[in-house]
Structure 1
């Protein structure tokens, strides 16, 4: 069942509830039976409290049968004790079910998000997504618990009390129940007004929480560019709109209160007035009337709850529907039917007429063809926007090709499982990302079964071991949010260690040393060269000094492969793009060296 955003029929509640019960009901049937038994006990003892009023009035006070006092008092104490324990039992059981449902859907949401393709996350703000999940996952729990509570407790309690009322006085019962039709009409009218504004409130609150989360994550940029006031003004608009939506929800939903109170007051007043008139003209014991009025007053609470249950269900329905919108999002990069496991023997990567676009109007690659031979290093260079990083994304099947194919040892990557494909690849991003946990955890993410010795050896090869051991807790030091406790170069070296420990036959380096100083870059480059010797390595680099020793260099421009060869062959092409890049970077290095020499010469006489 696919739940759209714009459906507004009241009948949607039942399909969503059926889906939730179908997915979860069987697992909790034992717990719900216990909770329902407790609720039935509450309903029975509440009805008993009204029914016993007739005997208290007629038998004890009217006929003065004092010998019944002990039995009646004992029965009342027992009824209240049963109701107390039953209330405790149903509350604890529903809380346990609800908490488990929240945990289950949080896990389910995370697992589903991990299955979605990169394209989903490029069009969805991460902060807003996280806020939406945290807000809306409780909607599933609330729908289940409110449905069970309204049926098993409030509805049964109301039925039991109405039965007491009818047994005591059928005519008075008819007078009391005339409030039903106008109350039902009022609830349905308010629901039509509430549905749209509830959806708007959930949307704006998720945007608000997402913006706050992103502001915290980017606090350094905010302060560096003195953006505090700009963002504060922007947040003020969101906060004011969220407040307005919340106030409107309160105004609409709380209108039910005075309507319910007025109708209940009219019903109770009518019953008391008619009962008083009837008592004045007929001499009959007042016990049945008192029992009826007690049942009527006790029935008001479940009536009020049942009247409000649709209001609360509407809010929970909006939240649940938004969760299912995410869960019903189909992954774009699915494994092909019957996809096999990638078997890497040598590691030769072949790009054959690869074409790709991010949209109908955004073509990126135009028939790219080249071979990255097994055990060799292939560098991909070119200006920004040429499609270098896109090639890496396509090789890892983050997106599907528009045309052509990519093969590893003759196996089309579209015909193998994504898991086996990506397990054969170690990737170092230009922007290293560290996750919650310790330094050791972040390195071991490369290969979960790696031993501590292998983790530390990988850190040594990445020249990270020294600074790691200088941390307060060494390898067990918490990295902070996205490695906030470490420098950019340190994060990058941990990222490189993670790729080293993966021990994959194919290595992808996307500006892997861009965050390092010259000395660290030279040392890490040396370490990378030692592990690149036995792997098929593809390197993206803007600094040509890092790729001069590559076995093959591929030059891209505007999504086209324009040159291919070794460093020596490419620099000999005077009008070539690679040669132009090389001359520009060589000139910058010479100018920097000349300026440094001039500065040192000007300072020398002062030192003497």
Structure 2
């Protein structure tokens, strides 16, 4: 995911140029008109600054030396007008650049979110979500800063400097050459600092993202933090990250500001020498004080844009590092792209068939081995087995969260790898083992299952999921805002909202991954009744640990080590001598523990 950090030479310059070209290509045409207006304003500001330096000669010579009364109004008025032009143009370009910058940030935020939602699930398993969000938050302004720095530096600072140097050369070519002698020295120093800054900036971004991610994770898991008295441990861990982030930031500050003293010293020597020499010429040889004053004014006014240009590469390096890290994310290709001409899935009955499916998360740890089974259309197929047998993986593969290493999965004889993911998932309703609720109201969270659902349909789904009872007890009923992940609700209540979200989708295929695991006995009974009603005329695949939830299934699959080792109805399996399911059932009735613990006990005994 991370691009190499280049440290110098032609390769470095080439990478910077390519990045700048990409930023310009993606944004230049979009903002060409606004940037043109801003550039005109910047040019006007530059011209007014140079004009103030140029007119100082006439102010001194005509008013103070020649005491020309006819110019007492015209020259001061011209100075006033130049200040007005500079002020108005500065205001206009500032507003335009901020407007462009805010729009760029918004565009890239939308683009990043859209791209992230296109990436496969394994990307989010490999990258911590809190750290990813923190990194994006820091990096997203990099493109804005790159464009604005480039425009302002070229149209304002560079042009101002050129115009002022023109005034200086016009007034005194010899003194101008003396003033510019320190430029190459400062340029070499800035290039050296820029190389150091690039590496330091990337490391700083990484550390700061870890700090923000740790704080977010601590806030999300605050109940666990307090339950296990982890406050001091987390304080120490975050303190160490904060100290490291502070040290990184201080290093960047030292590198960034290192150019300041050198620039000031060189500029001070040049300006002091010019004032002394020009004063000597005025005293000894009678040179015009107006020309000297105009020259020195231009020299002093040129100092600020020259200093900003000297620091430009340092600032641009920081902006480009952030921009590059944004493009590293945008350039990640989805691992499960749809084929260019992939058709939409057409579901008639909803039969799901695994044919010799092989899958692993890691090359050395196979999860499914030559798995074959059929979940009949309109029927309920339950999957049980020990932890790690591949039950939840089956649910994930049906939704094409991952790609098979071998074999295929078909829905109504259509290979799901050859249809669009959107059409596939739109025909599936899913209830995960751990319910997740989003920011918004209870009604919003149920409606996520089908955004076009009416209020009546949302409320009907809540009733089917046995959720309306507790929803109506909330302060604002269905319109009650939820805390982060519904923290104010119990686990069973969150799960019932998750079930309601699946029911309102009204999809022909329903996947339940331990959908009743978080419910108490009363809620489980109520929800089980609702699910049985919701399963009518749908293909349902249920992963369960409690055998009580699968007894009524049309077909039960028993998985072990990534394969189906038994299948049949509850009656068939429970009466099969020596069968794994029969042992699960026997142990459950004897000790009353859940199916997963029973499966692991049986599996451990061989």
TM bucket normalised to smaller: over 0.9
Distance 1:327 1:215 in 2: 28
- Alignment partner, residue 552 of structure 1: 555
Tell me which of 399, 402, 405 is aligned to 1:399: 402
User: Does residue 1:71 correspond to 2:74, yes or no?
Assistant: yes
Contact 1:57 1:287 in 2 (8 A): yes
Q: Normalising by structure 1, report the TM-score.
A: 0.96
- For 1:30 and 1:487, the matched residues in 2 are separated by 55
Residue equivalent to 1:240: 243
Instruction: Answer whether contact 1:62 1:285 (CA < 8 A) is retained.
Output: no
Identify which of 282, 287, 294 aligns with 1:284: 287
**Of residues 480, 484, 487 in structure 2, which corresponds to 1:481?**
484
Q: How much does 1:443 deviate?
A: 0.7
1:69 Cα deviation after fit: 1.3
Q: Which segment drifts farther, 282-291 or 301-310?
A: 282-291
Counterpart-to-counterpart distance in 1, 2:316 and 2:488: 45
Counterpart residue number, 1:5: 4
Equivalence for 1:89: 92
The secondary structure found in structure 2 opposite 1:405 is strand
Shift of residue 590, structure 1, vs aligned partner: 9.7
Report the Cα distance in structure 2 between the residues aligned to 1:451 and 1:93, rounded to whole angstroms: 43
Q: Distance between the aligned counterparts of 2:270 and 2:592, measured in 1?
A: 92
Aligned twin of 1:443: 446
Corresponding residue of 2:377: 374
Q: Residues of 2 paired with 1:64 and 1:175: CA distance?
A: 32
TM-superposed CA distance for 1:281, in Å, is 3.0
**In the alignment, structure 1 residue 160 sits paired with structure 2 residue 159:** no
Deviation string, structure 1 residues 58-108 (Cα, Å, up to 9, x no partner): 111111112101001111111111111111111111110000111111111
> What's the offset of the Cα at 1:16?
1.5
Instruction: Between 342-351 and 556-565, report the one with greater CA deviation.
Output: 556-565
How many residues get paired? 590
SS in 2 for 1:397: coil
Match of 1:199 among 198, 202, 212: 202
In 1, Cα distance between equivalents of 2:194 and 2:234: 36
Looking at structure 1, the residues matched to 175 and 263 of structure 2 have their Cα atoms a distance apart, in angstroms, of 19
Query: Counterparts of 1:250 and 1:403 in 2: how far apart (Å)?
Result: 54
| Residue 566 of structure 1: aligned partner | 569
Corresponding position of 2:351: 348
C-alpha distance in structure 2 between counterparts of 1:293 and 1:15, whole Å? 40
Q: Which whole-Å CA distance do the structure 2 matches of 1:480 and 1:69 have between them? A: 70
Structure 2 CA distance for aligned equivalents of residues 138 and 509 of structure 1: 42
Mapped partners of 2:317, 2:589: distance in 1: 67
Aligned mates of 1:5, 1:188 — CA distance in 2: 20
Structure 2 partner of 1:59: 62
- 2:23 paired residue among 20, 23, 31: 20
Q: Kindly provide the CA deviation profile for residues 213-248 of structure 1, in whole angstroms up to 9, marking residues without a partner as x.
A: 111101111111111111111112111111111111
1:175 corresponds to 2:178:
yes
Matched, 1:412 2:415: yes
1:116 is matched with which residue: 109, 116, 119? 119
Secondary structure (helix, strand or coil) at the match of 1:371 reads strand
Q: Structure 1 residue 474: deviation in Å?
A: 1.1
Superposed displacement of residue 276, structure 1: 2.1
2:396 and 2:437 map into 1 onto residues whose CA distance is 19
* SS of corresponding position for 2:526: helix
Tell me how far 1:3 sits from its aligned partner.
Answer: 7.7
Gaps of 5+ in 2: 595-606
Q: Equivalent residue of 1:368, what SS?
A: strand
Paired residue secondary structure (2:146)? helix
* 2:508 corresponds to 1:505: yes
Query: How big is the shift at 1:176?
Result: 0.4
Return the alpha-carbon distance in structure 1 between the equivalents of residues 465 and 287 of structure 2: 97
Secondary structure at the residue paired with 2:507?
coil
Question: Does residue 313 of structure 1 match 2:316?
Answer: yes
Give me the TM-score of the superposition, normalised by structure 2.
Answer: 0.96
Q: CA deviation at 1:490?
A: 1.1
For each residue in 1:116-174, what CA deviation from the matched residue of structure 2 results, as whole angstroms up to 9, or x when unmatched?
Answer: 00010000001100100111101111011011010010001000000000111111100
Question: Structure 1 residue 277: deviation in Å?
Answer: 2.5
Kindly tell me: are residues 3 and 207 of structure 1, through their superposed partners in 2, closer, same or farther at Cα, counting changes over 3 Å?
closer
| CA pair 299-392 structure 1, distance change in 2 beyond 3 A | same
Q: Residue 54 of structure 2 contacts residue 298 of structure 2 at CA under 8 Å; is this kept in 1?
A: yes
Matched residue SS, 1:358: strand
Q: Distance in 1 between matches of 2:341 and 2:232?
A: 56
CA shift for structure 1 position 13: 2.6
* Structure 2 CA distance for aligned equivalents of residues 64 and 14 of structure 1: 55
Question: Aligned partners of 1:349 and 1:285: how far apart in 2?
Answer: 95
- Which residue does the alignment assign to 1:257? 260
Quote how far apart the aligned CAs of 1:280 are.
3.2
Q: 2:597 matched to which residue of 1? A: none
What's the offset of the Cα at 1:14? 2.4
What's the C-alpha RMSD, in Å, of the aligned pairs? 1.3
Distance 1:527 1:8 in 2: 63
Which residues of structure 1 form unaligned runs of 5+?
A: 592-608
Large movers: runs of 4+ above 3 Å: none
